Chains A and B, each alone.
Chain A
Amino acid sequence: DSGVTQTPKHLITATGQRVTLRCSPRSGDLSVYWYQQSLDQGLQFLIQYYNGEERAKGNILERFSAQQFPDLHSELNLSSLELGDSALYFCASSVEEGNEQFFGPGTRLTVL
């Protein structure tokens, strides 16, 4: 158990819908990262927050957005969902930027 929690574990929805994935970092970790893992693209970095501020962006689609709240939990919002958004979404946290990242168990999103 990494100490990072993600909810929900599974999510099934339809194209065009919007979903929110939630992540609670390890206690004391200030940095939160989101990754997407799909069969064709592998594991890809989406976005990073540090103490509430966006710090880095990867190949995150404009339909996707994220935020980190004052209690340091983070949410990833995915809208206008397409079939190709079906993937595992991982959240990770680290105590500081550049430190090892601890990953949550992931949320499996299925878009039908």
Chain B
Amino acid sequence: DAKTTQPNSMESNEEEPVHLPCNHSTISGTDYIHWYRQLPSQGPEYVIHGLTSNVNNRMASLAIAEDRKSSTLILHRATLRDAAVYYCIPPGNTDKLIFGTGTRLQVFP
């Protein structure tokens, strides 16, 4: 099964950019890369997904390495509301989402 590797935790100051890395070295050619996050006391929330090229939406940007073995979720200006656990979903599991331990992001005022 595909797996991902993420740092356990990261910290940021408010209004600074945050780069959350993920390694998914076992990715296959047609697998999408999905990111979800879970805010405190809430259910998980879809953030973004991509295949090969970089993607942007209102929440974040996703930078995908050329070999697709890693990706970086970018929050351009972190807010206190962005404090959450961010999950990089193992590619190839878009239905049976597998949530690892994720990266816990702390944002300081």
Contact = CB atoms under 8 A, between A and B. Distances in A.
Interface of A: 2, 4, 31, 33, 35, 42-45, 48, 55-56, 58, 90, 92, 97-106
Interface residues of B, number: 18
Given A43-B99, A90-B44, 18 more contacts: A2-B43, A2-B45, A31-B95, A42-B100, A42-B101, A43-B38, A44-B99, A45-B96, A45-B98, A55-B95, A92-B43, A99-B94, A101-B44, A101-B97, A102-B46, A103-B43, A103-B45, A105-B42
Contacts of A4: 43
Contacts of B95: 31, 33, 48, 55-56, 97-98
B30 to A, nearest CB: 11
Contact of B96 (A48, A90, A105): A48
B68 interface: no
A48 B34 CA distance: 18
B24 interface: no
Contacts of A33: 95, 97
Interface of B: 34, 36, 38, 42-46, 49, 87, 94-101
B99 A105 contact: no
Interface majority SS on A: helix, strand, loop or mixed?
Answer: strand
A38 to B, nearest CB: 12
Contacts of A42: 99-101
Contacts of A104: 43
A109 to B, nearest CB: 15
Nearest to B96: A45
The CB with the most chain A CB atoms within 10 A, among B34, B43, B44, B99, is that of B43
What are the 3 closest A-B residue pairs judged by CB atoms, nearest first?
A103-B43, A43-B99, A100-B46
